[in-house]
Structure 1
């Protein structure tokens, strides 16, 4: 209908048309007042916050397919992905960083990462309007970083070898193609692949925080502020519900 209206008005047709799916109730049933199975998004925002709802809609709802919504499913996603996932990761890293890493070092890491363009694979997903896949890419990095910290047991390393522990937090990504041919001693970082590069936890967290800006802007800002202050969160980013 819209395209016909454009043609009638002698206006060029749309070059791209993005058709999203529907959000349904449990069992794929449509939401309606008559069925009484609707959910007021304002109630969810009041209880969990705006970014929590953004997270669910971006990660748990397909970009182009119909997806079910229930309060139970929302709560499970909130606790696993935000409270126990991202929120716990930030607390683990920043609690130790506050104790053992110089504040200025952390500030410089954040500033360097903020000057870098978006990860190319994430950028491609966004260009294709595939927000679901883009969000899953970020949470894949969050899960891998959380697992890496658990496996390397940095909380034990720091008690016996502070220098090694500091490197685990601050090691800068260096890759052959990042080297400046005119000045080999100077490293130019144009992109950071936090999955492949063996870089410090703070670098990885800063990349995640910056990538989240397009998805969870309030949370992204909070993490960056926490890192620049080099302090553990005064309260959890996301309270368990």
Structure 2
């Protein structure tokens, strides 16, 4: 029996799902960690990106911050942050993953607001809308697909990377993989490692599919039609 067959056998054992520290417990931990990390990333990335995009300034700063943040290894943050007052456990994992989530949220928020046709802004100002009304009633609704795209990218990245939380006793599905290595490849650990990896991959695909649907729902029908019409024209250039 190879490791993939052992992984499917491990999946089909109900005790591996329901036992304390089993798949259901670790899945719940994984979702909680990912949720708070993405929420923290949104609280940081979206306001800054929206503000800069609304003002039409800071594009270079957005790119620089996004690139610098992406250059920081998540594993390095997970190693360093537990040595701070955050300690070991879930808090340093949430902060490290939130840093990883900020670049796509920030960049897409800025891009979404700057992609709005200037004539649309001028028409709104001509109707007497203030800066705040312009942002709430015109810019944010039109930028919603970009915000959803940033959320989609960040969430999938966080869910996939949260498996590293096992390195600092942060819980999540990575604990299943880590426990498999502890058991040993020759003692059935290989199947558990495969099962844990498949669980992370399937969860990331589920999040991707769900948020892809959300992105479609928040995209105004007129923009959907425009994108579908633009696709055939863009194909020859590719």
Q: More strand by proportion, 1 or 2?
A: 1
TM-score normalised to structure 2 length: 0.29
TM-score normalised according to structure 1 size: 0.29
- The structure that is helix-richer by fraction is 2
